[in-house]
Amino acid sequence: MTNAQAATKIVRVSDPVNLEFPFETLSSDLTPTDAFYVRNHFSQPEINVQAWRLSIEGAVEKPLQLTFPELLSMPTHTVTSVLECAGNSRVFLSPKVAGAQWGLGAVGNAEWKGVLLSTILERACLAEDAVDVVFEGADKGVPDEQPKPCNPIYYARSIPKSKALEANILLAYEMNGAPLSEAHGFPLRLIVPGWYGMASVKWLQRIVVTEYPYDGYFQKIDYAFWEERDGLPVRQPITEIELKSQIAQPAAHSVIDANSTCLIYGAAWTGSSKIAKVEVSVDGGKEWHLANLGESDNPHAWIFWHYQWKTSATPHDTILMCRATDTEGRSQPLTRDLNKESYRISHTLPISVQVR
Amino acid sequence: MTNAQAATKIVRVSDPVNLEFPFETLSSDLTPTDAFYVRNHFSQPEINVQAWRLSIEGAVEKPLQLTFPELLSMPTHTVTSVLECAGNSRVFLSPKVAGAQWGLGAVGNAEWKGVLLSTILERACLAEDAVDVVFEGADKGVPDEQPKPCNPIYYARSIPKSKALEANILLAYEMNGAPLSEAHGFPLRLIVPGWYGMASVKWLQRIVVTEYPYDGYFQKIDYAFWEERDGLPVRQPITEIELKSQIAQPAAHSVIDANSTCLIYGAAWTGSSKIAKVEVSVDGGKEWHLANLGESDNPHAWIFWHYQWKTSATPHDTILMCRATDTEGRSQPLTRDLNKESYRISHTLPISVQVR
C-alpha cells in the first residue's frame, strides 16, 4: 500500500488492509486505480516475477508452467468491468452482521487487459471429466471463521468448467492502461465479469482443474449462502452480481438548499442482462421518478444516471433512494432479504438528507 | 426419555437430551436398548404413526408415499451393526474442542430389522442422473454453529447413489427384537452399517433423490472435515467408521490388586474389512501383548477381546491401552491427528489405573 492509496481511500480494516473507494467522489466512468477499493483476506504477498510461474494442472492433458513474458506474448483481450465486493454496503444491514463494514464504495469500474482464460485452458486441453476450475492466489493465511482448516491456506475460488470457457474471463496484467499494481494482484489477476469480486482472484499462481466439485473454504463456508432446493437448505457459492444502483451525490447527511435544483446522480450495474431504467425517490420510497441514463455499450461496465430534484421551499428531513430495473424486468427489492445473510446487499439503500 | 433410560445412561447434554452408555458396563454382545447411547441434535419429535408417511421423491420415476403398515408388509432384512457417534471419546482430546464431551460410550451394537433401502429405491426407480440420496428426519431446529440457515431445518444427511444401492442399508423399525423406541427413531430409522451414527437418520420422513451433490448443514458444515486434494483443502462429509478398540474394564482410575491377575477386556470394530488382532499395553504403550479375540461372523458388529494381566508385586501407577489391527494391515494410530478436528477419535486412548 502506498501513501497515495491510503490518502484517497477509506480504511475499513487495517490488517489485512481493506480500503474503500469514497463513492461520493464518483466522477469518471473508469474508477482511478489509486481510488479503486482493495479487499484482502490475508496479507499482500511478495512476488518475485522472475521466479513466478502460472501453473495449470490437475485434470488437463497438457499441464503448463507459464512465465510472465510468455503470458505477455500471447494474444491480448480487453474488457471493461465492474468489480463489486460481495459485502459492499454491509453497513446498511440491520441487525448488524460480522465482516468489514463497507459503505457504498467496495465497488469500482475498470478496464482490464490480459489473456483470455479460454485461450490458456484450450492450450492445456481440459480432461473430459473436468468439473471445476480452481484459481489459487499467492496470498495465504488462516481464515477468521470456523469451520476452517488448521493450517494456513491460499486464497482460492473456483468457477464451473462451462463458465470458465466463456469468452470474457480474463487473466489480467493491466488495469486502466497501466501494469497491474501489487495491491490489485500483480503480476496476474483473474477477472470474472458479472461475478462478485471474490471470484477475481489476485496474485494468481495456480489454476487447478478438478474432476470433483471444489468445496473450498471461500466456496462453501465463506462467500456462500443457504439455498432451498427440494425443500432442503444446501450451501451454494455466491456467484453473479445482483442488479444494483447507488447514489453518489448527495452524500448521506448532506444539507441541501430549499427551493433549489439538486442533481442526484450515481451509477447502476448488473451481473447479466442490461440496465433498462433507474428511478429515484426523494420521499423515502413513496413516489418514484425516472432518472436520465448514460450510455454504455459494455454489458459488464456500470452506467451513470442522474435526476434533477426541485426541492420544496419548506425545510424538511427526507430519504433519497434509487432503484434499477433491468431489461428482463427485474427491479431492486425495496427491503432486505434476511436469507441472504451478510452478502449481496442489493436492495434500495436509504440516503438521509436535510433540506434547509 | 423414560426414567429407566436416565438411570442407566450418562447425561452428556440435557437439552436436547444426549445420553451415553457407561462403557465400563459392557457385558453383552448386543447393547441393551435402554442402555444404548442417544444422540439428538434437536428435540425429539412427536410422531403420529397413523398420519406418518415415508415420502420418496426428487429424481425418481415413481415417487412413493408409504404408510407404516405398507412398510411392515414388505420383505424384511436383519443386520447386526455397531453405531458409533462420530464424536465418541471426544473427552480424550487435548486441547479441548467444542461439542458434547463423550467418554467411551457413544457407541453400541444392536440388531436392526426392517426393509432394505435398495428395495424401496428400486420400487421408486432412480433417475439416470441421480447423484445423492438425502434422508430427512422429523427432528427440526436451528443448529448451533455458523454458518447456519436462519430458519429451523430438519436433520438431514445423504449418501451417494452407489452406496445407497448396497445390500446392507436398512430402513429399520425394530431394534434388538422389539419395535423401535421413540428415542431411537420410531417409526423408522435409517441404518448405514459401517458409517458413523450421523448417517443413520432417526424419525425418517422423507427420502429425496437429488441430481446434484447435497451440500446440507450436517454434510458440509457439521460432520465434515478438511481434506487436501490437489494441494487444496476441500470440505468433505464424514462417512466410514474408523478402526477402533476400547477398554471396558478396568475402568479409568481403577485400583487393581498388586500381584494378581486382572482381566482387561473390551470391544473392537471397524467400518470396513475385519478385525485381525487386538493388542494390549499395560505400561503406556512401551510393550504390546496379543489379546484373545472373540468370534463374529458379522462384519458390521463389534468383536469382544480380553487379556489376562499379571500385575507386579510393586505398587505403581500405569496407563492401559489397546490397539486394533484389521485384515488389511491398518492399525489404530498411537497419537491423535489434529487435522481430524473434533470427530473420528480413533487413536489409542489412555486408561490410567493404580496397582496397589
- Find the DSSP H helices in chain B: 3-8, 68-72, 117-124, 161-164
Nearest to A230 among B58, B150, B213 (CB): B58
A313 inside 8 A of chain B by CB: no
Contact A215 B208 (CB under 8 A): no
pLDDT for A338: 84
Q: Are B267 and B108 in contact (CB under 8 A)?
A: no
Contact A230 B341 (CB under 8 A): no
Q: Which residues make beta-bridge pairs with A141?
A: A153
Q: What residue of A is the nearest CA neighbor of B224? A: A147
pLDDT for A339: 82
Tell me which of A205, A217, A230, A336 to substitute to probe the interface with B (most B C-beta atoms closer than 10 Å). Answer: A230
Question: Is the model's pLDDT at B4 over the cut of 80?
Answer: no
Chain B residues whose CB is inside 8 A of the A133 CB are none
Q: Are A125 and A62 in contact (CB under 8 A)?
A: yes
Q: What residue of A is the nearest CA neighbor of B57? A: A230
Domains of chain A, CATH where assigned: 3-237 (3.90.420.10), 244-355 (2.60.40.650)
Distance between CA atoms of B216 and B119, rounded to whole angstroms?
25
Distance between CA atoms of B169 and B116, rounded to whole angstroms?
6
Q: Is B192 helix (H, G, I), strand (E, B) or coil?
A: coil
Residue written as cell 432412480?
B126
Q: What residue of B is the nearest CA neighbor of A230? A: B58
Return the number of other C-beta atoms located less than 10 Å from residue A27's C-beta: 12
Q: Let me know the angle formed at the C-alpha of A264 by A259 and A269, rounded to the nearest 5 degrees.
A: 165
Confidence of residue B9 (pLDDT cuts 50, 70, 90): very high
Q: Are A156 and B232 in contact (CB under 8 A)?
A: yes
* pLDDT tens string B123-148: 999 999 999 999 999 999 999 899 99
Distance between CA atoms of B323 and B318, rounded to whole angstroms?
17
Chain A residues whose CB is inside 8 A of the B231 CB are 206, 208
**Antiparallel, parallel or unpaired: β A189-191 and A178-179:** unpaired
| pLDDT averaged per 10 residues, chain A (length 356) | 57 96 97 97 98 98 98 98 98 92 98 98 97 98 93 97 96 98 98 98 98 97 96 97 98 97 98 96 98 92 98 97 97 92 96 98
Residue written as cell 444516471?
A305
pLDDT for B336: 95
Q: Let me know the angle formed at the C-alpha of A125 by A121 and A127, rounded to the nearest 5 degrees.
A: 110
The pTM (predicted TM-score) of the whole model is 0.94
A142 inside 8 A of chain B by CB: no
Q: Which residues make beta-bridge pairs with B154?
A: B140
* pLDDT tens string B341-352: 899 999 999 999
Who's near A180: CB < 8 A, 6+ residues apart?
A172, A173, A174, A186, A187, A188, A189
Question: Is the model's pLDDT at B5 over the cut of 50?
Answer: no
Contact B147 A224 (CB under 8 A): yes
The three grid cell numbers given for residue A354, joined into one nine-digit string = 436535510
Tell me which of B144, B234, B337 to substitute to probe the interface with A (most A C-beta atoms closer than 10 Å). Answer: B234
Phi, psi of A197 (to 5 degrees): -60, -25
Distance between CA atoms of B311 and B260, rounded to whole angstroms?
5
Q: Are A13 and A100 in contact (CB under 8 A)?
A: yes
What Å distances lie between residue B64 and A124, A283, B67, B192, B309, CA to CA? 47, 54, 10, 21, 57
Contact B226 A338 (CB under 8 A): no
Contact B147 A235 (CB under 8 A): yes
CA B310, chain centre distance (Å): 34
Confidence of residue B297 (pLDDT cuts 50, 70, 90): confident
Q: What is the mean pLDDT of residues B313-324?
A: 98
pLDDT-above-70 percentage for chain B: 98
A131 inside 8 A of chain B by CB: no
pLDDT for B2: 42
Nearest to A136 among B134, B226, B232 (CB): B232
Q: What is the mean pLDDT of residues B188-198?
A: 98
Mind telling me how many Å the CA of B159 is from chain A's nearest CA? 15
Return the number of other C-beta atoms located less than 10 Å from residue A333's C-beta: 13
Find the distance separating the first CA and the last CA of chain A, reported in whole Å: 41
Chain B residues whose CB is inside 8 A of the A156 CB are 232
Question: Is the model's pLDDT at B218 over the cut of 60?
Answer: yes
Q: Are B23 and B92 in contact (CB under 8 A)?
A: no
A152 inside 8 A of chain B by CB: no
Q: What is the mean pLDDT of residues B318-338?
A: 96
Nearest to A213 among B58, B136, B213 (CB): B213
Distance between CA atoms of A254 and A248, rounded to whole angstroms?
11
Contact A150 B339 (CB under 8 A): yes
Which stretches does DSSP call E strand in A124-274?
132-141, 153-160, 170-175, 178-179, 189-191, 204-210, 224-229, 232-237, 244-249, 255-256, 261-269
What Å distances lie between residue A142 and A146, A152, B316, CA to CA? 10, 4, 45
Of A328, A225, A229, A337, the closest CA to residue A271 belongs to A328
Does an H or E element contain A146, and which? none
The three grid cell numbers given for residue B339, joined into one nine-digit string = 487435522
pLDDT for A8: 84
The three grid cell numbers given for residue B122, joined into one nine-digit string = 428400486
Chain A residues whose CB is inside 8 A of the B236 CB are 215
Of A35, A171, A202, the closest CA to residue A107 belongs to A35
DSSP class of residue B35? G
Distance between CA atoms of B260 and B277, rounded to whole angstroms?
25
Q: What residue of B is the nearest CA neighbor of A208? A: B230
Chain A residues whose CB is inside 8 A of the B232 CB are 134, 136, 154, 156, 208, 214, 216
Phi, psi of B121 (to 5 degrees): -70, -35
Q: What residue of A is the nearest CA neighbor of B222? A: A147
Q: Let me know the angle formed at the C-alpha of B13 by B41 and B42, rounded to the nearest 5 degrees.
A: 20
Tell me which of A215, A222, A236 to substitute to probe the interface with B (most B C-beta atoms closer than 10 Å). Answer: A215
CA B20, chain centre distance (Å): 12
Q: Is B217 helix (H, G, I), strand (E, B) or coil?
A: helix
Q: Is B159 helix (H, G, I), strand (E, B) or coil?
A: strand
The three grid cell numbers given for residue B276, joined into one nine-digit string = 485381525
